[in-house]
Structure 1
Amino acid sequence: MDRAPEYPAFREVSMDDRDWITRLFDQYPTEISERTFGSIFIWRDYEDRSLLSRFEDHLLISWRKEKFGRMILAPVGPGPAEVIQKLTSPALLPVLAFNGVFGIVEPLAADLRPKGFNPQSVRDEWDYIYLKDDLVKLVGPKYHTQRKEMKKAASSLKREYLPMSSELRDQCLELQETWCDIKHCTNDNLSEAEDVALKEALLNYDSLGFIGGVVTVDGKVQALSIGEKLNSETAVVHFEKANPDMRGLYQVINQQFCEHALEGFKFVNREQDVGEPGLRRAKEGYHPHHFVEKQILPFK
Structure 2
Amino acid sequence: MERRDEYRRLYDLCPRKSTAYSFGTLWSWRGVRDFRWAFDDGLCWIRAGNQLWSPVGPWEEVPWEEVLPRHFPDGAKFLFAPDGFAEVLARSLGPSVVCIEDRDQWEYIHSVQELTALKGNRFSRKRSHIQQFVKKHPFTYRSIRERDAEPLLECQRLWMAEHAPSPQLEMENEAIGEMLAQWRNIPGLLGGLLDVGGRVVAYTVAEVLSSDTIMIHFEKALLAYNGAYQAINRMFLANDCASFSTVNREEDLGEQGMRVAKMSYNPIGFLRKYIVTWTP
Aligned to 1:58: 43
Measured in 2, the distance between the counterparts of 1:84 and 1:32 equals 24
Q: Tell me, yes or no, if structure 1 residue 240 matches structure 2 residue 226.
A: no
Distance 1:25 1:157, change over 3 A: same
Q: Which amino acid aligns with 2:224?
A: D
Tell me how far 1:155 sits from its aligned partner: 1.2
Aligned to 1:25: 11
**Structure 2 counterparts to residues 136-285 of structure 1, below 5 A:** 136-185=116-165, 188-209=166-187, 210-285=189-264
SS in 2 for 1:171: helix
**RMSD, matched Cα:** 2.3
Measured in 2, the distance between the counterparts of 1:275 and 1:232 equals 29
Aligned to 2:115: 135
Distance 1:107 1:56, change over 3 A: closer
Measured in 2, the distance between the counterparts of 1:293 and 1:92 equals 25
Distance 1:54 1:233, change over 3 A: same
Q: TM-score w.r.t. structure 1 length? A: 0.84
SS in 2 for 1:275: coil
Tell me how far 1:99 sits from its aligned partner: 4.7
Residue by residue over 1:246-281, the C-alpha shift from the partner in whole angstroms, topping out at 9 and shown as x without a partner, is: 110000000001011113110000000101111111
Structure 2 residues without counterparts, runs of 5 or longer = none
* Aligned 8 A contact 1:227 1:239 in 2: yes
Q: Which amino acid aligns with 1:140?
A: G
**Structure 2 counterparts to residues 26-45 of structure 1, below 5 A:** 26-45=12-31
Aligned to 1:3: none
> What is the number of equivalent residue pairs in this alignment?
276
Distance 1:54 1:81, change over 3 A: same
Q: Which amino acid aligns with 2:156?
A: Q
**Quick check: which one's strand share is greater?**
2
Q: Which amino acid aligns with 1:56?
A: D
SS in 1 for 2:168: helix
* Aligned 8 A contact 2:109 2:247 in 1: yes
Q: TM-score w.r.t. structure 2 length? A: 0.90
Aligned to 2:78: 100
**Percent of counterpart pairs with the same letter?**
26
**Quick check: which one's helix share is greater?**
2
